[in-house]
Every structure is written in structure tokens, then in C-alpha cells.
Amino acid sequence: MKPDLLRKTFVILCALAPWWQPLVSPQGHEDTRLVPSGAVVEKVASGFRFTEGPVMDHNGNILFTDIPNNRIMVYNPASGRVGVFREPSGRANGLEFDAQGRLLACEGDSTDGGRRVSRTEKDGRVVALADSYNGKRLNSPNDLHLDSRGNIYFTDPRYGDRKGVEQDKEAVYRIDPSGKITRVLDDVQRPNGILISADNKTLYLADNNNEEGGNKTLNAYDILSDGRVANKRILHDFAPGRGIDGMAIDAEGNIYATAGSGDQAGVYVFSPQGKQLTFIKTPEDPTNCAFGGPDRSTLYITAGQSLYRIRLNARGRLIYPLLKQ
């Protein structure tokens, strides 16, 4: 090949590189401090339609949602058994527990979806914590996270059909312990996974618009002393691939983000500053993840029609619930 042609070919390949190279190469981002050498992703339950929202309860069980089947499932790691926790679920998506051990759920939009954030009481009653803002119904609550003060932050995007949309924005809201609902940010396209740092000073948000040309970013914001958020910055951009769905956070503040599809499907781990640390490949496109196990060192991952897990060296940051000893 002639030198000038070789140079031209090199320039063309460099220009195309961002479009065909993997977002994260497992070989280039190995970090045995987080993922033990030889650790494998193990399928522990399957046969569902679309899994989401894993969370550990105070007994060490893992709850997760099977959205199209309109139910919340519960997996017992000790026995390997799977049962139904709540049906119908209001098309529940993301799940969390509060300080009293009550299950919080983001119920999405559908003919039988709740379009609300709900709480399942100890006696089985289900109550609405938020179903509207400024007198208009929420879009389709997607995911949520609590800070150590008991504030509930939740995302309210609208994927798919726009019929029946009442809100003027797709936004992030906060429910304070008194029940007051505040819109904290709306400078995004499709707010999805959300996390709050241990010091309550940083909000991490997945802006995941899966339409062509849409935002597919991991954002960070400062949480000010008065509750407002400011200083938006983009920590990582997944475009043109599949952006982040759900996320988890470990005791060191590292972010575990489910993203990618096909060969790039997996859990992408970032430092609090957005540096890529490692990559955990999954057999199916992942939707969310959560830490479990008595030492909080097992990462449970919902993906496709299944529930997976992998042992890590990292420990998850867990505010609620307190595990029974």
C-alpha cells in the first residue's frame, strides 16, 4: 500500500473508531479490587417476561419486578425459590425500602399501570405517596432512591406512547418525609436510573432517551443545602449505544450502571468522578442491579427475562433495610 493511501486509510479508521469500538473493553478495564479474578455471572431465576428493580429486604431476599406480568417477585437465595410478593403491581418498575421496612415502588404507565410512587404497608395495604404534580398526573414513574434523611427521589419519564401525558416535562422529583412533592430538575430528556451519594451532596442520574440522537448520558448534580440541585456535569456519554437503565452504588461511592446491548451489554462501573473502572458482561441486556447477601457483596442484576448475580470484592452501600442478624 502506498504511504499516502495508508495515511488516508488511517485517518478514515480513526474517524470511524468511536462508532465501532466497544464502549468499554473488559480486557482494558479489569479491576480485581472490585471484581474477583474468575468471578462469573450466574443465572439464578428465569422464565419471566421483563425483569427490573431488584432490591434486598431485611431477610436477605431479593425482590424484583416482572413488569409485563404486572407483579413483584421475591427470590430466596437460601432456598432458590421464587414467589409472588404483590400482584397486581400497578406495573411496578424500580423498588426501594424505607427505614420502616416498607416497600416503595415506581408504578408506570399502562392500561393497568398506577402512574404513581406507592408504598406497601406491613399489613399489605398499598398507599400512594405521589401520583400528581401541580394537579396533573405523573408521566410514568420509573426509578427511585432514598437519601439518609428519608427523602425519596424519583424519576418520571415517559417512554413509548405519549397518549395521556399531562406533565409539561419529564423530570426528577423529591418526596420529603412530610409528604411534600418538589420537582428538583427537568433539564433532561428521559430521566431513568437515579442515585444519591452517602453524604447527600450529589445526585447521579441516567438520562436515557433511546430514540435516535437522544441523550444517553450519566449526569451528576450538586445537591445544595436548601434542596435545590445545581452544577450539572456529564460523567459519561454512551451514545450511540444503549444508555443507562438502572444503577446501584457501593460503599466507596462507585456507580454500577446497567447499559449496552449485545456484546456491549453489562454493568459499567464508574468512580464518583466518572472514571471507568471495570465492566461486568451479562448474557442478556441488563435493566437494573442491586447489592445483596449478608455482607452486601453480591450484585444482583435483572436482565431480559432473568435474574443474575455475581460475587464482588466491593460492598454495596445500604441505607435501608437493616438486615436481621
Q: CA 82, 74, 61, 253 torsion: positive or negative? A: positive
Banded model confidence at residue 162, pLDDT cuts 50, 70, 90: confident
Q: CA 41, 83, 104, 207 torsion: positive or negative? A: positive
Average pLDDT over every residue of 154-175: 95
Give the single-character DSSP code of 250: B
Cell numbers that stand for 220 in this block: 451528576
- Contact assessment for residue 107 and residue 125, using Cβ atoms and an 8 Å cutoff: no
Q: For the segment 197-214, what is each residue's pLDDT rounded down to a tens digit?
A: 999 999 999 999 988 999
CATH architecture of 24-311: 6 Propeller (2.120)
Banded model confidence at residue 323, pLDDT cuts 50, 70, 90: low
Helix (H) or strand (E) holding 18: helix 3-20
At residue 294, does pLDDT exceed 50?
Answer: yes
Helix (H) or strand (E) holding 111: none
Average pLDDT over every residue of 162-175: 95
- Domain definitions of the chain by residue range: 24-311
Residue 30's pLDDT is what?
Answer: 60
Q: Taking the CA atoms of the chain, what radius of gyration do you get in angstroms? A: 20
- Contact assessment for residue 195 and residue 143, using Cβ atoms and an 8 Å cutoff: no
Residue 322's pLDDT is what?
Answer: 63
State the CB neighbour count (10 A cutoff) for residue 164.
Answer: 11
Q: What percent of the chain has pLDDT over 90?
A: 84
Nearest to 245 by CA among 298, 275, 200, 290: 290
At residue 304, does pLDDT exceed 90?
Answer: yes
